[in-house]
Chains A and B, each alone.
Chain A
Amino acid sequence: MIVLLEMKERIKLIYSKYEAFIIPVFKFLLAFIVFNTLNSRMGYMTRIDDMTIELITALACSFLPLGLMVLIAAVFSLMHMYALSMEVALVGLCMYLIMYLLFFRFSPKDSLVVVLTPLLFAFKIPYVVPIAVGLLCGPSSLVSVGCGIAVFYLLQTVIDSAPNIRTMGDEAILEKVRMMVESIVGNKAMLVMIAAFAFTVLVVYLIRRMSVDYSWTIAMVAGAMINVVLLLIGDLLYDVNLSVGSVLLGSLLAIVVAKVLEFFRFCVDYSRTEKVQFEDDEYYYYVKAVPKMTVAVPTKTVKRINSQRGGESEPGMSRQPGRSVETQRTPSDRNGSRAARPQGRSGARKGQRGMTMGNAERQMDTDDNLEEI
């Protein structure tokens, strides 16, 4: 566990050091995957179905806000729809407008959820979404999850209807619109998914906020089970042709991903929970304090022992008769001091927590070895 915690701290250090580069790179990759998936699945407009355009747009998205990435992806999909048929693009535009006006207004900051939900649906691992959102976001994010699902099913409907739409003539405007609207509104699978995911997000959120031990683990397991049950009930009631195997496997994968998220976001040690009670003039306080599992990144201190005679002592060198000792910290310590120091301090302040002690012991071992040398 200590190795994992050290690794986590290292990742945090690297992230804090190179944040300015990591976020644009992440945005670029996400945008590229989104545009590439859109082009490969739809690809009706050959002009934009081009790697160069994907790269340029993704590059632009890397320094633009995430909200604009959603907008550009929507424009991309509308262009493909327009190339297929103007009526399809009209229905798509109406759907996007309704979603924006009625739903997306409530959670405009959740652009990432709106982008990731259809993307994970396309990669057939959508069951991660409600659990991750319930763990990391607030209850209003269920609106974004719902919008993401609606977007995926809208695009899927366009892809499924494309052969029929192509066979229809240009004069069949109303038929095309009717077919699209009926396919979207009557899509029972979409409604079942939206209902199941929304309920799962709420359940996960409510459980993880509870003041019980292992609330995150309980929340993710309960969320996965409720999601499976709701999807199966929906399948039985509306015959939406869900694969039970993929639902179960996807839910297991979702729990694994949620565990990873928990490790990075909510890594606490319940065995050292402290319950304190105190009062002031107005209230009694019953406080439960759960310590975080933290470990300082190991710092290596290199002592150079040179036999040196004469000459003035330099900064960082202490003069001793017959030899000089130069203490030099490794770059990881120098650069990471900002993040490493508070943890060390907090560990000391909170009564020398076990993890930090372990690290101190390791440091002492190193010093003992040096003494022997």
Chain B
Amino acid sequence: MLSEERIILMTRMASYEKGEGRENVKIGNYFRSDYIALQILKAVVCAIIAFGIMFGLYMLCNFEDFMENLYKMDLLAFAKDVLTYFVAIVGGYAVLTYSVCTWRYAMAKKSLKCYYHNLKKLSSLYNETQ
């Protein structure tokens, strides 16, 4: 016998699994700390590469000035400036990633809680019919 309630529930769950649920299930497989640490690690790598590209472009744009003033300029102060920018960009990006991932994890868990609740309900509906 077809149960309308069961079919509606299954359709809704299938739609969830196919759409946003897929991503949420992936996130839900991690512990919170593992997920956030992994994302921050990826973010740091991306930020380092992006900083490298930005620094490369900056150096290309100012290459002539840099070469002219190479022996006059304070290289230590220049390195300190570059390092400050590096820490600001990479650190800032890591902090941003931390806050985004914390929020995402919380949202995914909340969503998965609802999904698992529906699973339980579906299971109880099956038991009722048997």
Chain A residues at the B interface, C-beta cutoff of 8 Å: 91, 94, 97-98, 101-102, 105-106, 140, 174, 177-178, 181-182
For the complex, give the distance between the alpha carbons of A91 and B47 in Å. Answer: 18
Chain B positions within 8 Å of A174 at CB level: 60-61, 63-64
- Which DSSP category, helix, strand, loop or mixed, fits chain B's interface? helix
Contact indicator B64/A94 (Cβ below 8 Å): no
Chain A positions within 8 Å of B61 at CB level: 174, 177-178, 181-182
For the complex, give the distance between the alpha carbons of A182 and B57 in Å. Answer: 11
Chain B min CB distance to A166 (Å): 20
Chain A min CB distance to B30 (Å): 17
| Interface residue tally on B, bucketed by range | 10 to 19
For the complex, give the distance between the alpha carbons of A362 and B95 in Å. Answer: 61
Residues in B32-64 with C-beta less than 8 Å from chain A: 42-43, 46-47, 49-50, 53-54, 56-57, 60-61, 63-64
For the complex, give the distance between the alpha carbons of A182 and B62 in Å. Answer: 11
Chain B residues at the A interface, C-beta cutoff of 8 Å: 42-43, 46-47, 49-50, 53-54, 56-57, 60-61, 63-64, 93, 100
Contact indicator B46/A102 (Cβ below 8 Å): yes
Chain A positions within 8 Å of B64 at CB level: 174
Q: A97's contact among B53, B60, B63, by CB below 8 Å, is which? A: B53
Contact indicator B100/A101 (Cβ below 8 Å): no
Q: A98's contact among B42, B50, B60, by CB below 8 Å, is which? A: B50
Q: A91's contact among B42, B46, B57, B100, by CB below 8 Å, is which? A: B57
Chain A positions within 8 Å of B47 at CB level: 101-102
Chain B positions within 8 Å of A102 at CB level: 46-47, 50, 93
Contact indicator B63/A98 (Cβ below 8 Å): no
A-B residue pairs, 10 tightest by C-beta: A101-B46, A101-B50, A178-B61, A177-B60, A94-B53, A98-B50, A102-B50, A181-B61, A94-B57, A181-B57
